[in-house]
Amino acid sequence: MSITSILLILGLFGISGYYAGLRKSLIIRKNKKLHSSPIYHGALLAINSSLSSVIFIILWLIIEKNVYAGLEYFRNILYLVSIIIFFIVSLITFKKIKHDFKARDSLEKIVQYFLLGCSTLAILITIGIFLSVIFESHKFFSIIPITEFLFGTHWSPQMPIREDQAGSAGAFGAIPLFTGTFLIAFISMCIAGPIGLMSAIYLSEYASKKIRSIVKPLTEILAGIPTVVYGFFAVVVVAPFIRNAGSNFGIEIASESALAAGLVMGIMIIPFVSSISDDVINAVPQNLKNGSLGVGATKSETIKKVIIPAALPGIIGGLLLAVSRAIGETMIVVMAAGMSANLTANPFEAVTTVTVQIVVLLVGDQEFDSPKTLAAFALGLVLFIITLMLNYLALHIVRKYREQYE
């Protein structure tokens, strides 16, 4: 017998428990008015009893896995006890079923607790992320000092295969990765910032309703394209195009240049910037605009001198969110940016990013005691902290801005 089959049996018992409860309350209803309708009695009986056995099984399994593995030999006892628990609980609940038994209230309590439990999952996920990256990073930092990781300028994570192999001890200075990440994010924001902002302004202030209804869904398509498609686009179309253009002007551009990756990432972020800016600009009160137009300002002057200053906090918040997305974006850079860790600010050279290195370090065999695998978690920790701060800041600014006009 396995866990699945015992769960199946408990399910069947639960269904019969439902009918037992239903029957009893129906019989009671013939003589007296019930507090709750019969289905609540049945459902409560079924849920109460199967829930308590399931909780027992889960507790048992947790103990077996983490405390005392020997319990595995007593699985039959587990099955027996869980069924006994089922019957005891259902008997108790069955006894309770009377005309004034508040079955509905009890059931609704259970439902509410279930809903509450689901909502705490978000916290559990955050804790899970924190624990997993911090735990493995801690192991990493006990091998490689944190200062060397954060301030070292040489990155070559290949560990020697043999102990005595000369000259390849593996270096974990992450500065080139940080500069590469920020270089690409910077290029992408140079593209997405102006284009996204200007198209949002045009769409919300100038465009007719008809144009708006056509263009907006089209830009939303840009937002829905998977990043792997952008990566392919970068490799097949943009990178060769840039290289040819560069060689026409006598500039040598690497085939995996930061420019190509940044450009395509910029295209990806345009709809993100434009939809946030659009929301923010629309939230500026009409009175402000009317005031400016009323004293004779042109539309563009109103936009530049009134709307944008008023919307500035929101726009900055949106741009920060976009930066956070650019930093955390993986597939485009994995495909288009290259693996070599160059410490450079030249957009024509190949650079690598934090996310690329996480993928490079983790694809293939993973050993949880080698610094190579653990380094990925340390990079993940840095990435998580940076994006968390950016997100928090951005959401805070945006919320403050909304409150100002509400």
Partner 1 sequence: MNNLKLRLAKEKRFQLYGILSITLALTLLSVLFISIFSQGYTAFQETKIQLNINFEQNILDPKKTRDWDVIKKSNFNILIRNSLQELFPDVSDRNEKRKLKKIISTSGEYQLRNYIRNNIESIGTSKKIWLLADDDVDMLIKGHINRILPEEERRIDNTELAWIEILETKKLIKKFFNKTFFTSGDSAESEQSGILGALIGSLFAIGITLIISFPIGIATAIYLEEFAPKNNKFIDFVEVNINNLAAVPSIIFGLLGLAIFLNFFEMPRSAPLVGGMVLSLMTLPTIIISSRVSIKAVPPSIKEGALGVGASEIQAVFHHVVPVAVPGMLTGTIIGMARALGESAPLLVIGMVAFIVDIPQSVTDPATALPIQIYLWADTPERGFAERTSAAIIVLLIFLILMNSLAVYLRQRFEKDIN
d(CA 33, CA 12): 30
- Please report whether residue 221 would count as binding partner 1 according to CB under 8 A: yes
Q: How far is CA 170 from CA 137, 154, 160, 213, 339, in A?
A: 17, 9, 7, 55, 15
Question: Binders of partner 1: how many residues, by CB under 8 A?
Answer: 87
CB closer to partner 1 out of 219 and 292? 219
- Of 151, 152, 175, 171, which Cα lies nearest the Cα of 160? 171
DSSP sequence for 236-286: IIIHHHHHHHHHHTT----TT-HHHHHHHHHHHHHHHHHHHHHHHHHTS-H
| Contacts (CB under 8 A) with partner 1, residues 143-202 | 194-196, 198-199, 201-202
For position 291 contacting partner 1 by CB under 8 A, the verdict is: no
What residues are paired with 171 via a beta bridge? 156
Q: Is 128 in the site for partner 1 (CB under 8 A)?
A: yes
Whichever of 20 and 259 has its CB closer to partner 1, that residue is 259
SS3 category, 363: coil
Shortest distance, position 230 Cβ to partner 1, whole Å: 8
Question: Contact between 255 and partner 1 (CB under 8 A)?
Answer: no
The answer for residues whose C-beta is within 8 angstroms of residue 217's C-beta and 6 or more apart is none
Binding status of residue 67 toward partner 1 by CB under 8 A:
no
How many residues are listed for the chain in this entry? 406
Under the criterion CB under 8 A, does residue 15 sit at the interface with partner 1? no
314 within 8 A of 280, measured Cβ to Cβ: yes
Q: Does 262 bind partner 1 (CB under 8 A)?
A: no
In angstroms, give the least distance from the CB of 167 to partner 1. 30
Site string for partner 1, 382-401 (x = CB under 8 A): -xx--xx--xx-xx------
Give the per-residue contact string, 93-122, with partner 1 (x = CB under 8 A; - = no). -----------x---x--xx-xxx-xxxxx
Q: Which stretch binds partner 1 (CB under 8 A): 85-93, 221-229, 247-255, 344-352?
A: 221-229
Told to check if 232 binds partner 1 by CB under 8 A, we report yes
Q: Which stretch binds partner 1 (CB under 8 A): 1-9, 148-156, 307-315, 375-383?
A: 375-383
Nearer to partner 1, 28 or 203 (CB): 203
For partner 1, the binding residues in 27-56 under the rule CB under 8 A are: none
- Residues 323 and 189: their CA atoms lie apart, in Å, by 7
* Neighbouring residues of 165: CB distance < 8 A, sequence distance ≥ 6: none
**Least distance in angstroms from the C-beta of 226 to partner 1:** 3
Interface residues for partner 1 in 200-219 (CB under 8 A)?
201-203, 206, 215, 218-219
Contact flag: residue 222 with partner 1 (CB under 8 A): yes
Q: ∠202-208-214 over CA atoms, to 5°?
A: 85
Q: From residue 128, how far is each of 134, 135, 235, 256, 257 by CA, in Å? A: 10, 10, 35, 35, 36
